[in-house]
Amino acid sequence: MVMTYGVRDLGHHIEGMTAFSVLDLAPVPDGSDVGQALRNTIDLATHADRLGYTRYWLAEHHNMPGIASAATSVVIGAVAAATKSIRVGAGGVMLPNHAPLVIAEQFGTLSALYPARIDLGLGRAPGTDQLTARALRRTLQGDVDGFPQDVMELMRWFEPAVEGQRIAAYPGEGQQVKVWILGSSTYGAQLAAHLGLPYAFASHFAPGELLRAIDIYRQTFRPSPHLAQPYVMAGYNAFVADDETEAHTLFTSVQQAFINLRLNKAGKLPKPIEGFYERLDGTSKAVVDSALACTAVGTPEQVREQVAAFVQKTGADELMVTSQIWDHQARVRSLELFSSAVASL
């Protein structure tokens, strides 16, 4: 038995319409802690489920005090348990950090508990700095060069075990876990196309090669038992409020976070500062503008126009929306307003 998923089976996607999903980086707001951040994640996921978003993804990052989802599969389990129908998954698991068999067991377990709801996005970056990567792996033997082989090995663990097979993923074998390739360059696009898998591009923080990667993926895609035609998901930032000025103020938290990251001062998600961007020097503005180019900010009407233009430009089948907002209730409100703004796109 080969697990397949056509375009219509990738979620609630309706052909000819864009699907919308949520990427939650489980931000730890300045003045708060990891426990509250994770409770916020679970609460936001229940709202996303109620609002009809297609999927809810969490990402693997390590040694970052502002992100609470390092133990990604554990958080996915908590989110899946608190929701009813939304697909839940990893965007992504950084496969070089792990033995493929271990990930097969983890996501096989999740799939057994929450059938037909689990996605597994795979990336080849460490999700951290090299020193932390060494601490995670003990050695750097599991390096990025072996990523294609690791992906194929992982997918084999999900195939039903056969008689005489000495090692099998229990749980894992025979489970319907949908595998995606993630990337921020053309490398992932080529691999996803070669394997006939859906492709997600991290344009929410690294948009530089988005259009080129999408073109390569679509032009070189090879239909597979898993997917008959190419399927593209793009990361996208959204900050929506009833008032335009408020939306731009909410946006300043992630702007500050990117400046801090470039200065090697990663920390918790900062409080918004009205007028922060306007006071930046030219170099800092260029850093923010480059990293966060794929972003919609404003009222629902303004955001709808920005999203429509982005979808038209990329032809993305799905947007994975992330909103790094310091105040949790403002983040919930942004998610609600975004949902209503894009309902007919």
pLDDT tens figures, 40-55: 999 999 999 999 999 9
pLDDT of residue 263: 87
Per-residue pLDDT band for 143 (boundaries 50, 70, 90) equals low
Q: Is residue 192 part of a domain?
A: yes
Separation in Å, CA 1 to CA 164, 174, 176, 247, 324: 17, 8, 11, 49, 41
Q: Is residue 179 part of a domain?
A: yes
Taking 60 as the threshold, does the pLDDT of residue 215 lie above it?
Answer: yes
d(CA 218, CA 18): 17
pLDDT of residue 6: 45
> Minimal CA–CA distance to 342: which of 314, 298, 313, 301?
301
**Residues 211/212/215/220 CA torsion (nearest 10 deg):** -150
pLDDT of residue 264: 87
Q: Is residue 271 part of a domain?
A: no
Taking 50 as the threshold, does the pLDDT of residue 1 lie above it?
Answer: no
pLDDT of residue 127: 53
Taking 90 as the threshold, does the pLDDT of residue 13 lie above it?
Answer: no
Q: Is residue 227 part of a domain?
A: yes
Taking 70 as the threshold, does the pLDDT of residue 16 lie above it?
Answer: no
Q: Cα 286 vs. chain centroid, distance in angstroms?
A: 24
Side chain identity, residue 237: N
pLDDT of residue 75: 98
Q: Is residue 47 part of a domain?
A: yes
Task: Select the more confidently predicted residue: 244 or 13.
Answer: 244
Q: Is residue 292 part of a domain?
A: no
pLDDT of residue 137: 61
DSSP 154-207: HHHHTSPP-TT-S---TTTTT--PEEEEEESSHHHHHHHHHHT--EEE-TTT--
Rounded to 5 degrees, φ, ψ at 204 are: -70, -15
User: Nearest-5° angle of CA 38, CA 12, CA 233?
Assistant: 70
d(CA 59, CA 316): 21
Taking 50 as the threshold, does the pLDDT of residue 72 lie above it?
Answer: yes
pLDDT of residue 2: 38
Taking 70 as the threshold, does the pLDDT of residue 8 lie above it?
Answer: no
pLDDT of residue 133: 66
Tokens at residue 10, please?
């990738």
Read off the pLDDT of each residue in 205-223 and give the average, rounded to a whole number: 97
Write the Ramachandran bin of 275: left for phi over 0, alpha for psi from -120 to 50, otherwise beta.
Answer: left
Q: Is the dihedral of CA 48, 54, 59, 64 positive or negative?
A: negative
**Residue 297, C-beta contacts closer than 8 angstroms, at least 6 positions apart:** 238, 239, 240, 247, 248, 251, 303, 306
* pLDDT tens digits along 279-323: 999 999 999 999 999 999 999 999 999 999 999 999 999 999 999
Identify each DSSP E strand in the chain by its residue range: 19-24, 55-58, 87-94, 118-123, 178-183, 199-201, 232-240, 295-298, 318-322
Range of the domain at 146: 7-235+313-326
pLDDT of residue 145: 75
Q: What's the pTM?
A: 0.91
pLDDT of residue 126: 63
d(CA 267, CA 58): 19
* pLDDT tens digits along 184-207: 999 999 999 999 999 999 999 999
Read off the pLDDT of each residue in 70-82 and give the average, rounded to a whole number: 97
Mean pLDDT of the chain: 92
Determine which helix (DSSP H) or strand (DSSP E) holds 289, and give its type and residue range. helix 282-291
Q: Is residue 254 part of a domain?
A: no
Taking 60 as the threshold, does the pLDDT of residue 9 lie above it?
Answer: no
* pLDDT tens digits along 121-142: 999 976 556 676 666 664 555 5
CA gyration radius for the chain? 19
Taking 70 as the threshold, does the pLDDT of residue 114 lie above it?
Answer: yes
Taking 90 as the threshold, does the pLDDT of residue 14 lie above it?
Answer: no
How many structural domains comprise the chain?
A: 1
Q: Is residue 255 part of a domain?
A: no
pLDDT of residue 3: 45
d(CA 317, CA 118): 19
Residue 25's domain is classified under what CATH number? 3.20.20.30
pLDDT of residue 144: 57
